[in-house]
Amino acid sequence: MRSTGPGRGSRFGAVLPALALLALPPVAAAQSAPLPALRLNQVGFETAGPKAATLVDGRTTPVPWTLTDASGRTVLSGETAVRGEDPTSGDHTHIVRFDALRAPGRYTLTAGGHGRDITIADAPFAVLKRDALVFFYENRSGIPIEAEHVARPDLARPAGHAPDRATCFDGEDTRGNVWPGCDYTLDVSGGWYDAGDHGKYVVNGGISTWTLLNAWERASLRGLADPYPDGAADIPEAGNGVSDLLDEARWEVEFLLRMQVPDGARLQVPVGRVTRGQPLTFSEIDAGGLVHHKVHDVRWTGLPMAPAADPETRYLYAPNTAATLNMVAVAAQAARIWKTIDPAFSERALAAARRGLAAAKRHPELYAVGDFHGGGNYGDESLIDEFYWATAELYVTTGDAALLADLRASPLYPGTSGQPVRRTGDIGWNSVGGLGTIALALSEGRVPEAEREAVRQSVIASARLWLGETETQGYGHPFNSAFYSWGSNGNLMNRAMVLGLAHDFTGEAAFRDGAVAALDYVLGRNPLDQSYVTGHGDRPMRNPHHRFWAHSADPAYPMPPAGVLSGGPNNTAMTDPVAETMRGQCQPQTCWRDDIGAFTQNEVAINWNAPFVWVTAFLSPT
Ligand code: 9MR
């Protein structure tokens, strides 16, 4: 689990007050307009898939509804099911189910005196899937974003941080600890910017890359088509004979490998846990094979800021065990995926993974305890899940018996016979045990069949719990909690991924329906009637917290491209200047505003768009 650092109040630098003032009035005005009472997926419904909408209506008895086609003919009608008070949205809701309509077309759904146009199509998420992956290309560091590859010329930009060469931070952190630096410089060019900022964090790059690679591997192992075959995405590598999904993911794998400490390097680092407020003490270690936590600016830049215009010095931050294990897991996964596609790359990745695991075992208690200006923390003080994940990936790749013994000894391994089924639980950058379990569940010929079945059952058990939660929600999504945390939409997409895998493992249609329900929510079936995805739906998100897609801060900067998922409602850390004005005035599901200043609510990030890619690829396989 994570340790949260102090707030990020300095995030905007000097532009913050002006920006908050500029952005607030029009948004507040827009919010006062009444929202349509029918809330639904604004992009479309699958001909063969589940179809549901939510009606906000105070009546406690069912309400009639009709669906009419373009000529005004009624094609289906029925009555709502009253779901009642929805505690985390504050709405009194009814559910409209129209699964029986399977003919593609445009229709009008009318209920309680409100009408709304809908689309039914065979593959309504195909464009979404294509756009979702573009996010990664457009956030690449170290390469120009070319006009020929982007949807609008204003989205092109010069390469940022090219090259990205940095030495270890050697100044004072926010708590007054003075860091000693190191005697080398690494070229850590490439990779993706994390989010709205220009930091590149190994803990977060890891899960994001894993998720894209898993979308490819899951399809491949199931004998399905590559969701992004060569040429499917508009990226510079299209036409090189390799899957575009793999090309995009490799951009980050190469970066993760560059973050590894050279052999023989000795570093001064803090070892072990630290009580907050206590000064750090530094010990000299043999750091070879460990991986640096992150590279970012020495202080926060303001918005807007094109990557190439970033004036700040960048530093590497101390290596630690979690970052090392993130690299190990992804490098091991890459090694098996590229084994025949690019054997030299595969061997390089495998060697880095082995070297990394050995270093992590030598130094199992190096934590990200620093709190620095200019970048996020991604601190995590429980590494049982990172060890398990990295071991699982390396075992799936190599079949090394010693690794299986380590897995079996992990409290997170669900394969031990005679145990009650344990759910994998929510997946996130600081909670990666589920990734290891998924890798084992998908693997062929590695763990004995009875153990693999138990591993699969743990994935299925999570999915079953979350599927049940759809029945408790006014908006039908698989999330029954009063805590909408930072990146709640990303969390929901991770749940949808697990629901998708449970569908694969069982063949039960209900699990796939649960994944669709999660997508319905982010595409508009929610209390704000908001498509949280740019460029898709009647009311798409427009003003992400992003330094380059910063049109609302400065019209000289572009609007975002399509296919970008907002972090989503956040009632657990209302620390940005927009969120601060909303405290006590929103419900868990409504603590969100489409405002560039709302970095706790409306930032975009690689670890949220990655499961969005996974889910849209799952639902739109070809
Ligand atoms: O996604 C992260 C969230 O879980 C944390 O609570 C939050 C505060 O530490 O940081 C989020 O990650 C941000 C990172 O620190 C810096 N780049 C932007 C990320 C998304 O907001």
Note the pLDDT tens digit of each residue in 55-66.
999 999 999 999
Specify the pLDDT at position 560. Answer: 98
- CA-to-CA dists, residue 618 to 301, 441, 503, 513, 614, angstroms: 37, 17, 10, 12, 6
Q: Is residue 107 within 6 Å of ligand 1 at its C-beta? A: no
Residue 477 has pLDDT above 50, yes or no: yes
> How big is the CA angle at 602 (ends 147 and 130), to the nearest 5 degrees?
40
Q: What is the pLDDT of residue 30?
A: 47
Position 7: which residue type? G
Quick check: CB of 603 below 6 Å from ligand 1?
Answer: yes
Q: Which residue has the tokens 């070892």?
A: 271
Q: Compute the distance from residue 487 Cα to the ligand 1 centre, in Å.
A: 8
Other C-beta atoms lying within 10 Å of the C-beta of residue 94: 28
**pLDDT range class, residue 530, cuts 50, 70, 90:** very high
Dump pLDDT digits (tens) for 353-379.
999 999 999 999 999 998 999 999 999
CB 93 within 8 A of CB 56: yes
In this structure, the number of other CB atoms found within 10 A of the CB of residue 232 comes to 17
Whether 5 has a pLDDT exceeding 50, the answer reads no
Going by C-alpha positions, the residue among 543, 539, 532 that lies closest to residue 598 is 543
Q: Is the CB of 194 under 6 A from ligand 1?
A: yes
Q: How far is the CA of 584 from the centre of ligand 1 (A)?
A: 22
In this predicted structure, the answer to whether residue 500 has a pLDDT above a threshold of 50 is yes
Q: What pLDDT sits at residue 274? A: 86
Q: What is the spatial distance between Cα 359 and Cα 539, in angstroms, rounded to a whole number?
A: 49
What number is the average pLDDT over the span 299-316? 98
- 552: CA distance to ligand 1 center in Å? 22
Distance 86 CA to ligand 1 centre (A): 28
Residue 28 has pLDDT above 90, yes or no: no
> Where is average pLDDT lowest: 15-19, 146-150, 411-415?
15-19
Give residue 277's pLDDT.
Answer: 82
Task: For residue 545, give the ligand 1 atom closest to its CA.
Answer: 21
Pocket test for ligand 1, best of 204, 485, 491, 592 (most atoms within 8 A of CB): 204
pLDDT tens string 227-266? 999 999 999 999 999 999 999 999 999 999 999 999 999 9
pLDDT reported for residue 320: 98
Q: In what order do the strands lie in the sheet with 52-56?
A: 38-39, 52-56, 91-97, 81-86
Q: How far apart are CA 130 and CA 135, in angstroms?
A: 10
Q: How far is CA 28 from the centre of its chain?
A: 28
Of 525, 535, 558, the closest CA to residue 155 belongs to 558
- Asked if residue 31 has its Cβ within 6 Å of ligand 1, the reply is no
Nearest CA, atom 6, ligand 1: 486
Q: For all residues of the chain together, what is the average pLDDT?
A: 94
The β-bridge relationship of strands 45-46 and 114-121 is parallel
What is the pLDDT, as a whole number, of residue 170?
A: 97
Report CA(240)–ligand 1 centroid distance (Å).
Answer: 35
Whether the CB of 4 sits within 6 Å of ligand 1: yes
Give the Cα-Cα-Cα angle 279, 285, 291 (nearest 5 degrees). 90
Reduced to 3 states (helix: H, G, I; strand: E, B; else coil), residue 97 is strand
Q: Cα(376) to centroid of ligand 1, in Å?
A: 6
Tokens of 458: 């743990």
Which residue has a Cα nearest atom 10 of ligand 1? Answer: 376
Q: Is 39 helix (H, G, I), strand (E, B) or coil?
A: strand
Can you give 385-453 as a three-state secondary structure string? HHHHHHHHHHHHHHCCHHHHHHHHHCCCCCCCCCCCCCCCCCCECCECHHHHHHHHHHCCCCCCHHHHH
- pLDDT for the residue numbered 275: 86
- 8 Å CB contact between 152 and 175: no
Helix axes 126-138, 606-619, angle to 10 degrees: 150
Nearest atom in ligand 1 to 600's CA: 21
45-46, strands of its sheet edge to edge:
45-46, 114-121, 105-111, 64-68, 74-79
Q: Please tell me the residue having the least CA distance from ligand 1 atom 12.
A: 376
595 lines ligand 1 (CB under 6 A): no
Q: Is the CB of 46 under 6 A from ligand 1?
A: no
Report, as an integer, the average pLDDT of 322-335.
Answer: 99
**pLDDT value of position 33:** 77
Give the Cα separation of 249 and 192 in Å (integer): 10
pLDDT of the residue at 32:
63
Give nearest CA residue, ligand 1 atom 3. 486
- The 10s digit of each residue's pLDDT in 177-197 is 999 999 999 999 999 999 999
Contact (CB, 8 A) for 386 and 320:
no
pLDDT reading at 202 higher than 80:
yes
CA 543 to chain centre: 18
pLDDT digits (tens, 9 = 90+) for 544-564: 999 999 999 999 999 999 999
**Percentage with pLDDT > 70 across the chain:** 95
Q: What is the DSSP letter of 590?
A: G
d(CA 428, CA 439): 15
What is each CA distance from 528 to 30, 32, 422, 462, 532, in whole angstroms? 12, 11, 35, 28, 10
Alpha helices in 471-533 (DSSP H): 488-506, 509-522
- Cα–Cα distances in Å, from 154 out to 41, 139, 536, 550? 29, 14, 19, 12
- Mean pLDDT value across residues 206-219: 99
Would you call 551 helix, strand, or coil by DSSP? coil
Q: Which residues pair with 2 in a beta bridge?
A: 380
User: Probe ligand 1: pick from 8, 486, 489, max atoms within 8 Å of CB?
Assistant: 486
Stretch (H or E) spanning 94? strand 91-97
Structural domains in the chain, CATH included, are 44-123 (2.60.40.10), 126-461 (1.50.10.10)
Cite the active site residues: 197, 545, 594, 603
Q: Which residues contact 406 (CB under 8 A, 6 or more apart)?
A: 387, 391, 395
Q: Is the pTM of this model over 0.85?
A: yes
Report which protein residue has its CA nearest ligand 1's atom 19. Answer: 195
Does residue 63 sit in helix, strand or coil? coil
Ligand 1 centre from 16 Cα, in Å? 18
Strands 291-297 and 200-201: antiparallel
Ligand 1 binding pocket includes 139 (Cβ within 6 Å): no
- Half-sphere CA count of 467, side-chain side, radius 13 A: 21
Please report the pLDDT score of residue 286 as a whole number: 98
Triad 188, 339, 232: Cα angle to 5°: 75
Nearest to 618 by CA among 536, 510, 519: 519
d(CA 597, CA 543): 9
For 90-105, the pLDDT digits (tens) are 999 999 999 999 999 9
pLDDT tens digits, residue range 396-423? 999 999 999 999 999 999 998 788 888 9
Shortest-distance atom of ligand 1 to CA 5: 9
CA-proximal residue: ligand 1, atom 5 (nearest): 486
pLDDT of residue 370: 85
Distance 194 CA to ligand 1 centre (A): 9
Q: Which of 194, 305, 432 to mutate to test the pocket of ligand 1 (most atoms within 8 A of CB)?
A: 194
**C-alpha distances in Å from residue 430, one per residue of 202, 386, 518:** 12, 8, 22
For residue 194, which atom of ligand 1 is closest to its CA?
17
> In 3-state terms, what secondary structure has residue 251?
helix
Atom 7 (ligand 1) nearest CA: 486
Q: Does the Cβ of 371 fall within 6 Å of ligand 1? A: no
User: What single letter denotes the amino acid at residue 133?
Assistant: L
Question: What is the per-residue pLDDT for 417?
Answer: 76
How far is the C-alpha of 575 from the C-alpha of 16, rounded, in Å? 13
Q: How far is the CA of 375 from the centre of ligand 1 (A)?
A: 9
